[in-house]
Amino acid sequence: MAKPNRSAFIVIEGLDRSGKSTQAQILHERLTNAKTPVELIKFPDRTTAIGKMIDSYLRSESELDDRAIHLLFTANRWELASHITTLLASGTTVIADRYAFSGIAFSARKGLPYEWCRGPDVGLPAPDLTLFLNIEPAVARARGGYGEERYEREEVQRGVRELFEKIGREMQTEGSSWVQVDAGKGKDEVAEDIWGAVEPLIGSCDSPIGRLWD
Ligand code: NYM
Ligand code: MG
């Protein structure tokens, strides 16, 4: 059997409070324990110059045109794109906590045209697997409540969820691996469901890394 020439790119998506960060952490630990080199990346990456502008916008410390903030979120992914492909080529599994799908869902919810929102993300490294942590916005809110940031309101999350579902249907139609996980279950059960989807990918990616929607 040919040796796999790269590792897997796994994206975890979902509404605020759906458990993404917790699950990304659990998956990171599980892979580390299995001696699989792995790096966890979070979008937005608030540590870069662009990320700091995004952070200030999310905390309502600054105002930006809807299109301008959309493009900053995308630029924040592009500034890490070559890092992601380098890691994958060197055999490090990459887990991303949010990705382009959040970018489209949150911006299109504001009324920006869907295709316009998707455009700047076309060509980014394509995930081998996207796990959509599906949760009822009311259940998410009941989990210790939404925070203080922009978008963290049940009504907004409802609209975002519908857009995530539209994106998921389209991804499935084009044959991309989009897996919906019931995130209303307990933490350990969700982690098991995620592991069931991830395990077959480890050590088995032998095609070159794809480009999103290209
Ligand atoms: N968000 C995140 C966007 O609006 N567009 C994007 O491209 C990304 C990656 O930022 N409510 C929104 C979703 C979240 C917020 O993310 C901050 P987090 O995971 O809560 O730090
Ligand atoms: Mg949040």
DSSP 19: S
Verdict on whether the full-model pTM lies above 0.95: yes
CA distance 108 to 160: 8
Q: How far is the CA of 14 from the centre of ligand 1 (A)?
A: 10
- pLDDT, position 2: 58
What is the layout of strands, in order, in the sheet containing 93-97? 38-42, 93-97, 9-14, 129-134, 178-182
Q: How far is the CA of 200 from the centre of ligand 1 (A)?
A: 29
Q: How far is the CA of 69 from the centre of ligand 1 (A)?
A: 11
Tell me which amino acid residue 93 is. T
Q: How far is the CA of 17 from the centre of ligand 2 (A)?
A: 7
Counting from 1 in the atom list of ligand 1, the atom nearest the Cα of 147 is 20
Rg (the chain; Cα; Å): 17
- Testing ligand 1's pocket by substitution, the residue of 79, 102, 146 carrying the most ligand atoms inside 8 A of its CB is 102
* Range 40-49 burial, b when 16+ CB lie within 10 A, else e: bbbbbbeeee
Long-range contacts of 135-142 (CB under 8 A, 24+ apart): 135/14, 135/15, 135/17, 135/18, 135/19, 135/183, 135/184, 136/184, 137/15, 137/161, 139/184, 140/15, 140/16, 140/17, 140/18, 141/17
State whether ipTM is beyond 0.90. yes
- pLDDT, position 4: 59
- pLDDT, position 1: 55
Long-range contacts of 91-94 (CB under 8 A, 24+ apart): 91/6, 91/7, 91/37, 92/7, 92/37, 92/38, 92/39, 93/7, 93/8, 93/9, 93/10, 93/31, 93/36, 93/37, 93/38, 93/39, 93/202, 94/7, 94/8, 94/9, 94/10, 94/38, 94/39, 94/41
The residue nearest atom 5 of ligand 1, judged by CA position, is 103
Name residues contacting ligand 1 (CB within 6 A): 16, 43-44, 58, 73, 98, 102-103, 106, 151
Mean pLDDT split into 10-residue runs, the chain, 214 residues: 80 97 98 97 98 98 98 99 98 98 98 98 98 96 88 96 98 96 97 98 94 96
